[in-house]
Each structure stands twice: as structure tokens, then as C-alpha cells.
Amino acid sequence: MGTLEETFKFVVLPGGHNPRRDSLIHEDKSLGEIVREEGVSRQAVHQYLKQTNQLEDWREKRKQRRETSRKEKEVREQEESQREALEIRLIHLLKAYAVKTAYRQSWAHGKTEEVMQSYRRRDERAISREKLFGLFTLYECALHEGKKISLNDLGRSCGPKEFLVSHLMQRANLNPMYGGKPFKKRNQASTAALIKVSKKRMPNQDIGYFFDLSHHAIYFRFKNAGYSPKAGKPLKSFGFDPKEYLTYRLASQIYEAQDLGFKPNDIAILLDAGKRAVEYALAKRKTIAPVIVYALIARYPNVVITAPYLQKAS
């Protein structure tokens, strides 16, 4: 049988004649916490620390505790920031999928979804989905029949007033058929930046995605600059089905989904892409992703770009 000290393993705390106060000091309590617990003045506690030779040790432990608390707070804030960023990227991805799915139904469905998604809040929407769909259906029919229809007639047929139709057309990036100047979509991307990316053998359709320009706009930019790009083609094709074509645009969306935690099979379903195209993009990320990052840096020269996909601000 061991000694009494070995049996009960007493913990002897450094201190003086006040065990309760010594215990609070040993727990690294702040001066204010000790004052509240003991019901004495701050000066009395400080004097006690000094008299019992615990002041320097207490100060050092308090410093370490503050540093630990600061680091823990930074970690929590960083994790919260990462969660918010992931939520924003996931919402952006799901919205893009909703628009893509709507376009498969019809052009009018796609434009309707596009405009509805452009509003940040539901209460900002100036027209119902049904009326908006009716407006774009009428516009599409007029296009197919080679007819022209005024903004006033569009509004009279579908409900909204002429000024609202003009606003909706701008949101949909559509020009009035007559009775007004074409809406100009502002884009500050330089032609030099477009040429720079084109020389990486990126097709115009993919460049348009990253630069938010139409294929035709890029064509005329190149033509006016006297630049003739080499014919672009998909990164990889696994058949005649367009779902099996791997483009830089699709690769970018695949990498975004991967970073959000989606598995290859889930990514294929989410993006309605071929499984082989998804697997190839993931396997070749080290070679494909830098080209996408290069394009984004050319598009946004004043922004730090690290990920191979477009990141939307909240």
C-alpha cells in the first residue's frame, strides 16, 4: 500500500493563505472575475498576487489565454466565412442549373427563368412568372414569323406597361424590334485581353462565357482588330451527344461543383453532363484549370483569382 500522498494524489497549488483565491488564480481567471468572486477590490487582489509571488506567472498565463482565445475566434470567423462562400457558390450553381433546365423546355421558358433569377429579392419582381412567360412567348413568335411588335403592343397583350416592358427587355438582354435604340450591354473587357485568351486555343463560346460576351460580339471584336483566331474545338469529345462534349465552360462548372463537395456521379446529374466528360475533367484538372484561371485573370486584372470558376459576390 502506498503513502497517503500517492493514494489521494493531492494537487498542491502555489499561493498563500487564501485557498479559494489561489484556486481562481490557478484557473487563470481575470482580475475582474476574481474581484466579483471574492467581493474585494482590484487593488487587494493585485496586492495578493504580488505578495504571494504569483503575479508574473498569472500575467503570463492570462496572456497565453488571450492569445488562444484570439486564435480560436479567428478560426471560427474563417470557418463562418468559408461556409458563407460555399453557400453563395452553391446557390449560384443551382440557379445556373435552373436556367439551363428552363432553356431545354423552350427559349421563352429560359428567358423567363433568366429574368426571374436576375432579381435579388422576391419583392423586387415587378411582374408574375406567368405574364413574363407570355411576353417572351409573344416576342419569340414574332421573331419566328418575321414580324415586328412594339413594346406597347407587347405590354398590352401581356399586362405590363410599356416602360416596364422596356425594363424587362433590358434585363433579358433583348433589343426592341423597333421604336427605340438597341440596348447596349456594357462590358469593359479589352479586345487585347480577348486575344490573349484566344491564343491559348480557347474557343470563342468559352471566352464569351468567362467574359460575359456573346459569340458574335467576340467575332466582331476580333474582326475589327484584324485578328484571326485558330479554330477552337471542345477540350474532349466522347461521342456525338453534346452532353459528352467537354468545354472550358463545363470544366469550370465541374470544378466548382467538386470544390463544393459533390461526387463525380452527382456532378454529372447536376450539370446534365456525360459521366466520361466529368471524369476526364477531374482527372485533367492540373492542366485544364490553369487555362481557366488565366482567362479569368485576363478578364479581371485587378482581382486576385485562385479558383478556376466565376465567383459571385453576395
Q: What is the pLDDT of residues 76-128, one digit of tens each?
A: 888 887 887 788 788 878 888 888 898 899 998 999 998 888 776 665 666 78
Question: By C-alpha distance, which of 42, 51, 41 is closest to 18?
Answer: 51
Instruction: Please tell me the distance from the alpha carbon of residue 295 to that of residue 303, in angstroms, as a whole number.
Output: 12
CB distance 28 to 42 below 8 Å: no
pLDDT at position 162, please? 57
Report the Cα 7 to chain-centroid distance in Å: 60
Instruction: Please tell me the distance from the alpha carbon of residue 19 to that of residue 37, in angstroms, as a whole number.
Output: 13
Close Cβ partners of 271 (under 8 Å, ≥ 6 residues apart): 97, 250, 253, 254, 257, 278
Residue with cell 467574359: 211
Q: 49 to each of 26, 28, 142, how far by Cα in Å?
A: 11, 12, 88
Instruction: Please tell me the distance from the alpha carbon of residue 312 to that of residue 306, in angstroms, as a whole number.
Output: 14
For the entire predicted model, the pTM comes to: 0.49
Number of C-beta neighbours around residue 228 at 10 A: 9
pLDDT at position 251, please? 93
CB distance 227 to 199 below 8 Å: no
CB distance 136 to 145 below 8 Å: no
Dihedral angle, C-alpha 199, 203, 208, 211, nearest 10 °: -30
As averages over each run of 10 residues, the pLDDT of the chain (314 residues) reads 45 60 80 84 85 85 86 87 80 85 90 84 72 87 84 73 74 74 56 89 89 83 86 78 86 92 90 90 92 90 84 53
pLDDT at position 16, please? 57
pLDDT at position 160, please? 60
pLDDT at position 255, please? 93
